[in-house]
Amino acid sequence: MKIEKPRGTRDFSMEEMSERDYVENTVAGVFKAYGYGKIKTPTFEHMDLFTMKSGDEISTHMYAFEDKKGRKMCLRPEETASVCRMFSETLRTLPKPLKLYYFDSMFRYEEPQKGRYREFWQLGLELIGPKGPESDAEVISVAYDSLKKLGCEFRLEIGHLGIVKGLLADKDIPEDLQRKSISCIDKNDAEGLRKITSEPLLFELIALKGGKEVIAKAEETLKDSKKAIAALIELKEILAYLDAVGVEYTLNLGVARGLEYYTGMVFEIRVPDLGAQSQICGGGRYDNLIELFSGLSVPAVGFAFGFDRVAEALEMQGVNKKERTKEIIVAPVSPDMKKEAMKIASDLRKTHSVEYDLMDRKLGKILEYAGEKGASHVVIVGRKDYSDGMVTVRDMTSGEQKTVKIKEIEEVLK
Interface positions with ligand HAM (CB under 6 A): 78, 80, 108, 110, 116-117, 120, 122, 124, 126, 258-259, 279-284, 302-304, 306, 308-309
Angle formed at CA 278 by CA 29 and CA 152, multiple of 5 degrees = 35
Our CB check for ligand HAM shows the closer of 120 and 386 to be 120
Our CB check for ligand HAM shows the closer of 264 and 282 to be 282
Shortest Cβ distance from residue 301 to ligand HAM (Å)?
7
Our CB check for ligand HAM shows the closer of 307 and 386 to be 307
Closest listed residue to residue 171, CA positions, set 203, 217, 207: 203
Our CB check for ligand HAM shows the closer of 218 and 281 to be 281
Shortest Cβ distance from residue 4 to ligand HAM (Å)?
19
Cβ proximity of 382 and 337 under 8 Å: yes
Our CB check for ligand HAM shows the closer of 18 and 279 to be 279
Distance in angstroms between the alpha carbons of the first and the last residue of the chain:
51
What DSSP assignment string belongs to 210-248?
A: ESTHHHHHHHHHTTT-HHHHHHHHHHHHHHHHHHHTT--
Shortest Cβ distance from residue 284 to ligand HAM (Å)?
6
Our CB check for ligand HAM shows the closer of 231 and 396 to be 231
Q: Which residues contact 168 (CB under 8 A, 6 or more apart)?
A: 177, 178, 181, 197, 199, 202
Shortest Cβ distance from residue 174 to ligand HAM (Å)?
25
In 120-225, where does DSSP find H-type helix? 133-150, 161-170, 175-186, 190-196, 200-206, 213-221
Per DSSP bridges, beta strands 279-285 and 265-270 are antiparallel
Our CB check for ligand HAM shows the closer of 79 and 385 to be 79
Shortest Cβ distance from residue 80 to ligand HAM (Å)?
4
Angle formed at CA 344 by CA 338 and CA 345, multiple of 5 degrees = 85
Our CB check for ligand HAM shows the closer of 256 and 406 to be 256
Please classify residue 57 by burial: count the beta carbons closer than 10 Å to its beta carbon, then call 0-12 exposed, 13-18 middle and 19+ buried.
middle
Shortest Cβ distance from residue 25 to ligand HAM (Å)?
19
Shortest Cβ distance from residue 344 to ligand HAM (Å)?
45
Separation of alpha carbons 256 and 188, rounded Å: 10
Shortest Cβ distance from residue 62 to ligand HAM (Å)?
12
Q: How many CB atoms lie within 10 A of CB 269?
A: 28
Is the link from the previous residue into 97 a cis peptide, with omega within 30 of 0? yes
Our CB check for ligand HAM shows the closer of 110 and 199 to be 110
Shortest Cβ distance from residue 299 to ligand HAM (Å)?
12
Q: What is the CA radius of gyration of the chain?
A: 27
Cβ proximity of 82 and 45 under 8 Å: yes
Q: In this structure, what are the phi and psi dihedrals at residue 97, rounded to the nearest 5 degrees?
A: -75, 150
Our CB check for ligand HAM shows the closer of 260 and 385 to be 260
Our CB check for ligand HAM shows the closer of 96 and 326 to be 96
Residue nearest to ligand HAM (CB): 306
Separation of alpha carbons 127 and 263, rounded Å: 15
Separation of alpha carbons 146 and 220, rounded Å: 35
Shortest Cβ distance from residue 300 to ligand HAM (Å)?
8
Shortest Cβ distance from residue 117 to ligand HAM (Å)?
4
197, 210, 339 from 172: Cα distances, Å: 11, 28, 82
Name the strands in the sheet holding 72-75, side by side, starting at the edge strand that comes first in the sequence: 44-46, 72-75, 64-66
